[in-house]
Amino acid sequence: MENQIFPEKKSSEVIVVTSGKGGVGKTTTSANVGTGLAKLGKKVCLIDTDIGLRNLDVVMGLENRIVYNLVDVVEGNCRVKQALIRDKRHPGLYLMPSAQTRDKSAVTPGQMIKVIEHLKEQFDYIILDCPAGIEQGFQNAIAGADRALVVTTPEVSAIRDADRIIGLLEANGFKQMDLIINRLRMDMVKRGDMMSAQDVVDILAIPLIGIIPDDENVVIATNQGEPLVGGDSPAGRAYANVVQRVEGREIPFLNFEKGISFWTRVSGIFHRV
Amino acid sequence: MRHFFRRKSSCQVAKDRLKILLISDRVNCSPEMMELIKDDIARVISKYMKIDSENMEIQINAKTGKNGRNAKPILYANIPIVDVNMQDLAANR
What is the CATH number for A60?
Answer: 3.40.50.300
Chain B residue numbers touching A272 (CB-CB < 8 A): 9, 12
Ranges A67-76, A146-155, A238-247, A248-257: which has the least confidence: A248-257
Out of B5, B14, B22, name the one closest to residue A273 (CB). B5
- Interface predicted TM-score (ipTM) over 0.90: no
Give A43's pLDDT tier (boundaries 50, 70, 90): very high
- Domain of residue A114: give its range: 11-272
- Residue A96 C-beta-side C-alpha neighbours within 13 Å: 29
Out of B9, B21, B66, name the one closest to residue A160 (CB). B21
A200 → chain B, closest CA residue:
B15
Q: Which of A87, A60, A42 is nearest to A248 (CA)?
A: A42
- For residues B81 and A135, give the distance between their C-alpha atoms in angstroms, rounded to a whole number: 47
In sign, the C-alpha dihedral spanning A243, A248, A254, A258 is positive
For residues A154 and A196, is the Cβ–Cβ distance under 8 A? yes
Q: Is A269 on the interface with B (CB under 8 A)?
A: no
Q: Is residue A4 part of a domain?
A: no
- For residues A30 and A56, give the distance between their C-alpha atoms in angstroms, rounded to a whole number: 8
Q: Does B15 score more than 90 pLDDT?
A: yes
Q: Is residue A215 part of a domain?
A: yes
Q: What's the pLDDT at A267?
A: 46
Q: Is residue A1 part of a domain?
A: no
DSSP 8-state assignment for residue B31? H
Helical spans, DSSP H, in chain B: 10-27, 31-46, 86-92
Q: What's the pLDDT at B53?
A: 87
* Shortest Cα–Cα distance, A160 to chain B (Å): 7
The tens digit of pLDDT for each residue in A51-72 reads: 999 999 999 999 999 999 999 9
Cβ of B74: how many Cβ atoms within 10 Å?
A: 10
Give B89's pLDDT tier (boundaries 50, 70, 90): low
* Shortest Cα–Cα distance, B22 to chain A (Å): 7
Residues 5-34 of B with CB under 8 A from A: 5-6, 9-12, 14-15, 17-19, 21-22, 25-26
- For residues B36 and A197, give the distance between their C-alpha atoms in angstroms, rounded to a whole number: 39
Q: Which whole number is the average pLDDT over A140-168?
A: 96
Q: Does A35 score more than 70 pLDDT?
A: yes
Q: What's the pLDDT at B23?
A: 77
**Contact call for A199 and B11, based on CB within 8 A:** yes
Give A77's pLDDT tier (boundaries 50, 70, 90): very high
Number of domains making up chain A? 1
Q: Is residue A31 part of a domain?
A: yes
Q: Is residue A2 part of a domain?
A: no
Q: Is residue A5 part of a domain?
A: no
**Contact call for B11 and A160, based on CB within 8 A:** no
Task: Give the mean pLDDT of chain A.
Answer: 91
Pairs across A and B, CB distance < 8 A: 57
A170 → chain B, closest CA residue:
B69
